[in-house]
Amino acid sequence: MPMGYKDNGEPYRRHITRKTRDDLVEEVKKLEKQRDAGSAQQPGKAWTVEKWLQHWVENIAKPTVSENTYDGYEVAVRVHLVPGVGKHRLDRLQPEHLESLYRRMQANGERKAGTAHQAHRTARTALGEAVRRGYAAKNAAALAKAPRMEEDESEVEPYSVEEVQCLLLEANKRRNSARWMLALALGLRQGETLGLRWADVDLANEYLKLRRNRLRPRYQHGCPEASPCGRKAGYCPAKVQTRRETKNTKSRAGRRAVPLPGPLVAMLRAHRETQARERKAAGDLWVESDYVFTKPLGGPLSPNTDYHDWKKLLEDAGVRNARLHDARHTAATVLMLLGVPARVIDQIMGWEPGTSASMRARYLHVPDAMLKDVARKIAEAIWGTPETPAVDKNQDNGV
């Protein structure tokens, strides 16, 4: 019976035999239903999970997703999924196989739930494509229970206004001080801040435009094969960068204009003057790039260096340790406390309209003081304003 077409356009057929005519008719109907639904097994040797994942990540995902997304997929496939379930036939992979892998990844605290979650999301995407192409009848990852995320892993405590002020005082003592205020006051992502160019900043009208993200650099060796340096590619004296510096923001919400508070405008003006003096002092050594935040001799900042500068800033300011991304949570919460409308918060933060509600739920944190104020208002509404206790005049006079 005809079941589809080969890569060269020729039709291919399945030949089946059964002991009875009724069994044969039943099997033919089953195959026809699979063919019409697009879930019939394709001709040739069946895919293993390993072969499919490697094919998918290199030939399907890599050309269509961002570099950072591909990096996450590639690590999940190479480090976790292929060693864990790669030997199974693709069309025989079961949800239980993946759930067992997730448990092994988290056994004895060796892997965080976030790592297992990344493996799960990668498997779900890759297997979904296999189902769409008819190489598997079901998506085992979509049926599997995702690893449970512990509450303390996702809990974030934004910095208080007092802590932000401590960070500001310390940031003013070092280069690129405005870089940290863009994160704490406006919630700019690391890639957005490091990819910012002076052409995107309008200090006269007090706003900036976000159009691109700085990517983490990737290198390969540039030393001769006959005399290798023996170091990792990133530390090779003749290293060659193989990844572009920036990429354009892919979403419409990410490409946005952000207003600049007056003090931040002043900081950026002072920063531009300092950069001009550094350029003049460096002379021919200066690497022109038009980036707002650069190395001492010009050129874009490395995200890794930026991260370590953030950790040093926290230490020197005497402020509790936190992720750089937590500064974004801080900015979103401050906007809420100031009564900024939700639609404006969405634009400043760069959230898509379809996901803005869920993003606000993740990023807007209600401080204890606000909760206490709400509790007080509830008490007054239900029980009334508490009476001021009468003062005993004799006791007040010391009698």
Q: Each residue of 294-342: pLDDT tens digit? A: 999 998 898 889 999 999 999 999 999 988 888 888 888 878 777 788 8
Whether pLDDT at 93 is above 50: yes
- DSSP for 344-355 reads HHHHHHT--TTT
DSSP string, 138-166: S-HHHHSPPPPPPHHHH---PPPHHHHHH
Q: Is 152 helix (H, G, I), strand (E, B) or coil?
A: helix
DSSP strand pairing (256-259 vs 246-248) = unpaired
Any long-range contacts for 342-346 (C-beta under 8 Å, 24+ apart)?
346/253
- Cβ atoms 306, 194 nearer than 8 A: yes
Beta-sheet strands, E only, within the chain: 2-5, 11-13, 201-202, 207-210, 212-214, 219-220, 240-241, 246-248, 256-259
| pLDDT score of 286 more than 70 | yes
- Condensed to tens digits (0 to 9), the pLDDT of residues 341-386 reads 888 888 888 887 766 677 777 676 666 665 566 567 656 766 676 6
Which residue type is seen at 250? K
Mean pLDDT of 225-245: 81
Q: What is the reported pLDDT for 112?
A: 67
DSSP 17-48: --SSHHHHHHHHHHHHHHHHHT-SPPSSSPPB
Confidence class of residue 37 from pLDDT cuts 50, 70 and 90?
Answer: low
Copy the structure tokens of residue 242: 């193989």
Distance CA 60, CA 129 (A): 9
Contact 322, 159 (CB under 8 A): yes
Residue 53 in tokens = 């994942």
What is the pLDDT at residue 251?
A: 64
Amino acid at 242: T
The per-residue pLDDT of the chain, averaged, comes to: 82
Question: What is the arithmetic mean of pLDDT over 206-232?
Answer: 84
- Tell me: pLDDT of 399 over 50: no
Contacts of 40 (CB under 8 A, 6+ apart): 3, 4, 31, 34, 134
More confident residue, 30 or 118: 118
81 has a pLDDT exceeding 50: yes
Query: Can you tell me the mean pLDDT for 29-52?
Result: 73
Strand partners of residue 298: 287
Cα separation, 257 vs 245, in Å, equals: 22
**DSSP letter at 338?**
T
Cα distance between residue 358 and residue 360, in whole Å: 5
Domains within the chain, CATH numbers bracketed: 2-37 (no CATH), 49-154 (1.10.150.130), 161-210+256-358 (1.10.443.10), 212-248 (no CATH)
Place of tokens 């802590």: 163
Query: Is the confidence at residue 388, as pLDDT, over 90?
Result: no
pLDDT of residue 151: 46
Q: Identify the CA nearest to 90 among candidates 122, 46, 34, 58.
A: 46
> How many other CB atoms sit within 10 Å of the CB of residue 93?
24
User: Of the given ranges (67-71, 86-90, 180-184, 386-390), which has the lowest mean pLDDT?
Assistant: 386-390
Residues 6+ apart with CB under 8 A from 130: 47, 52, 56, 90, 136, 139
The predicted structure's pLDDT at residue 6: 56
pLDDT higher at 305 or 4: 305
- Is pLDDT above 60 for 396? no
Count of residues making up the chain: 399
